[in-house]
Amino acid sequence: MMLLAAGRKALDRLLQAILLGLMVAITLIVVYAVIMRTAGRSPSWYDEIAAILLCWITYFGAAYAALKRGHIGFEGLINVMPPRPRVAAVFFGEALVIAFFALLAWMGMRVLRVLEGDGLVSVPWIPLQLTHAIIPIGAMLFILAQLLSLPDYLAQARAGVLGKKDVGEETKEKLE
């Protein structure tokens, strides 16, 4: 359990650092582009690079939200189920999510093979494979985040407190 907590914390910090770096980069690029456009020397590449960074932020952000269990779910419905079906529903939901992202990662790898040798339109020396690698990487990070956060999520499901922020001391003891 300690190893899972350490892995969860390491992934949390990694994703935060990546997201911070990407947000700073996109901010600097857009500000630079606005200044240059105002000066009458608009760069041709900024919109394509900014769009790619926004996609990367979306994928890394989705994995971060998965680690925090921040995506939309059916916690209220699951909480009112009896304990056994509740746990089964959690496992079923997890299996569906993981299967979807495994398929996304696999198809993302196939797309990367198709894009071999192609570059961006405005910056042709940047390979499309690099820019689109976020698809399988993001999918695998999402799966990892789901798996690392599953034990706590399952404990909450067993206690019937999924999605509840304020739980009593008795429930906290059950979760520990």
pLDDT along the chain (176 residues), means of 10: 90 98 97 95 93 97 96 86 91 96 98 95 94 97 96 91 64 51
Residue 176 confidence (pLDDT): 54
Q: Which domain holds residue 119?
A: 2-175
Strand, coil or helix: what is 66? helix
The Cα–Cα gap between 105 and 119 comes to 21
Tokens linked to 154: 């399952």
- What's the confidence (pLDDT) of residue 170? 46
Distance CA 77, CA 57 (A): 31
Domain count, the chain: 1
For residue 151 the two structure tokens come to: 């034990």
15 close to 64: Cβ distance less than 8 angstroms:
yes
Distance CA 28, CA 15 (A): 20
